[in-house]
Structures are given as structure tokens and as C-alpha cells.
């Protein structure tokens, strides 16, 4: 008869965390920042069709880094949550905080109860209204949730990227400044990123009911100028 090995719970958690972190660090990073007219999200993503940033609801956007199939499943469930809530109650009852909490609970549950944690880090961004300021909810692979009121950096090497962004950060900056700073922070000292290497979207006040809009091609190049 063989005895099962005893593994200390601390060790189990440590191994899982390490596993998730490694998976996330393999992918490319993403920055979301609040600017004068809304929220800009910039991802280091050369694909035109496999998006890291997408629309959830009228004033809510989603962004994810790490394993694509895992954060895409979270994205779709977020859209489902928001659309059913808006349909059952009203459009103004859909908010980012409750969605971010649901994500955090789910990620936390998977981290503690499943064999394999999700190798993702996600962001739920909500455009401000007259009553509420804009909000960035950053949710880590184990369900830790933090709300940022300036910017959020997701992915591997976040410390160096955050440092580079912090140097340039100014409150209420215009879109083109915010984008240029985010791109140079993502690129680092050794690389340059052009429009075709990036996925960029904004939640902007002037966009009508659905505030989410992707910035592509000529418009993006002009802003990055």
C-alpha cells in the first residue's frame, strides 16, 4: 500500500501562484489610463481579430492578458451578465463594481478549488458619470481586486512598465499624450511599437450611449504622431 504524499497547503498555494504568474508573464502587457475625456486602453497586441480589449456594456469595457481562451470566456460571461441584468432591470442598473466582484469571486474560487488556476489578469473599466468618477478594477489570477483611479498595468514585467508610466503621468492629460506615454511604457527602452503592433480602444464621453470605440489605422497613427 502506498501512502499519498503530504503537501503543506502553503506549498500548494505557492505552486499554483507560481504557475499562474509564469503563464501571465509569457504574454504581452496592457495599460489602461484615465484621460481628460474618458479611459484609454492600450495593449501590445499585433492581432487584428483576437482582441484583448472589448466592450461589455454602454459604459463598461473589459481587458485581459494571459491565456486567450481563458480570458475570452470571462469576457463573454461578463457580456452575458451585463446584458441580462440590463434586460431584467434597466440599462442604468448595470455597473462595473458588481461585475468586478463576480469576476473576483470566480477567479478566487478557481484558484483555491481547482487543479489549475486561470492564467489571466483582467481589467474592468467604467466611464464616469456626473455622479461617479471613472473606475478601473484590476483583478488578479487569484481573485485579488484593486481599484485604481489613475492607471492600471496588467501582464508580465509590470514593475518596470509601471515605473516608466509613472514618470510621465499627469492628471487629466489629453488622449494623444496618454497614448504616447502608454506606448513608450509598454515598449520599454529596447523596442518601438507602431500602430500595427497595438490594439487601442477608448471609453469616451462623446461617443453616445455606447461609449466604447476602437482606434485603428489613420486615426490611431495621427494620435500617436
Partner 1 sequence: MTLPLFSTTEDPGPDFAGLIRRLRLPVHPMMAPAGSAVSSGGAATNEFRHGTTVVALRFADGIVMAGDRRATEGNAIAHRAMEKVFPADRYSAVAIAGAAGPAVEMVRLFQTQLEHYEKVEGVVLSLEGKANQLSQMVREHLPMAMQGLAVVPLFAGYDLARQTGRIFTYDVTGGHYEETEHNATGSGGRDARTTIKLGYRVGMARDDAVELAVEALYEAADEDSATGGPDLIRGIYPLVATVTADGFAAVTEEEVSERFAALIERRRAEGRQP
Q: Which is nearer to partner 1, 159 or 209 (CB)?
A: 209
CA distance 173 to 42: 15
Shortest reach from residue 122's CB to partner 1, in Å: 12
Shortest reach from residue 105's CB to partner 1, in Å: 8
Q: Which is nearer to partner 1, 140 or 183 (CB)?
A: 140
Can you give the binding site for partner 1, defined by CB under 8 A?
49, 51, 54-56, 73-74, 76-81, 83-88, 98, 102-103, 105-106
Q: Within a 10 A sphere around the Cβ of 46, how many other Cβ atoms?
A: 13
Q: Which is nearer to partner 1, 73 or 162 (CB)?
A: 73
Shortest reach from residue 144's CB to partner 1, in Å: 17
Taking each helix axis as running N to C, give the angle between helix 217-224 and helix 175-187, from 0 to 180 degrees, rounded to the nearest 10. 90
Q: What angle do CA 6, 10, 14 make, to 5 degrees?
A: 110
> Over the range 142-181, which residues count as b (16 or more CB within 10 Å of their CB) and which as e?
bbebeebeebbbbbbebeebbebbeeebeeebebebbbbb
Q: Which is nearer to partner 1, 19 or 106 (CB)?
A: 106
Phi, psi of 46 (to 5 degrees): -75, -10
Yes or no: say if 27 and 189 are a contact pair by the CB < 8 Å rule: no
Q: Which is nearer to partner 1, 49 or 192 (CB)?
A: 49
Shortest reach from residue 169's CB to partner 1, in Å: 31
Yes or no: say if 53 and 154 are a contact pair by the CB < 8 Å rule: no
Shortest reach from residue 25's CB to partner 1, in Å: 26
Amino acid at each position: 500500500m502506498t501512502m499519498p504524499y503530504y503537501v503543506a497547503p502553503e506549498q500548494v498555494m505557492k505552486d499554483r501562484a507560481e504557475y499562474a504568474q509564469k503563464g501571465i508573464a509569457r504574454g504581452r502587457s496592457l495599460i489602461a489610463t484615465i484621460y481628460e475625456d474618458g479611459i484609454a486602453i492600450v495593449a501590445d497586441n499585433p492581432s487584428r481579430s483576437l482582441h484583448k480589449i472589448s466592450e461589455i456594456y454602454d459604459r463598461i469595457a473589459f481587458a485581459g492578458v494571459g491565456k486567450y481562451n481563458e480570458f475570452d470566456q470571462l469576457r463573454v460571461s461578463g457580456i452575458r451578465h451585463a446584458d441580462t441584468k440590463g434586460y431584467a432591470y434597466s440599462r442604468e442598473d448595470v455597473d462595473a463594481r458588481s461585475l468586478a466582484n463576480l469576476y473576483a469571486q470566480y477567479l478566487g474560487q478557481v484558484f483555491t478549488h481547482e487543479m489549475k488556476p486561470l492564467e489571466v489578469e483582467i481589467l474592468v473599466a467604467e466611464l464616469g458619470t456626473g455622479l461617479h468618477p471613472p473606475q478601473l478594477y484590476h483583478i488578479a489570477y487569484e481573485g485579488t481586486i484593486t481599484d485604481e483611479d489613475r492607471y492600471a498595468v496588467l501582464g508580465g514585467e509590470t514593475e518596470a512598465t509601471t515605473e516608466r508610466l509613472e514618470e510621465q503621468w499627469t492628471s487629466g492629460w489629453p488622449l494623444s499624450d496618454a497614448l504616447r506615454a502608454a506606448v513608450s511604457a509598454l515598449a520599454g527602452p529596447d523596442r518601438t511599437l507602431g500602430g500595427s503592433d497595438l490594439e487601442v480602444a477608448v471609453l469616451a464621453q462623446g461617443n453616445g450611449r455606447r461609449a466604447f470605440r476602437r482606434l485603428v489605422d489613420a486615426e490611431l497613427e495621427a494620435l500617436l504622431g
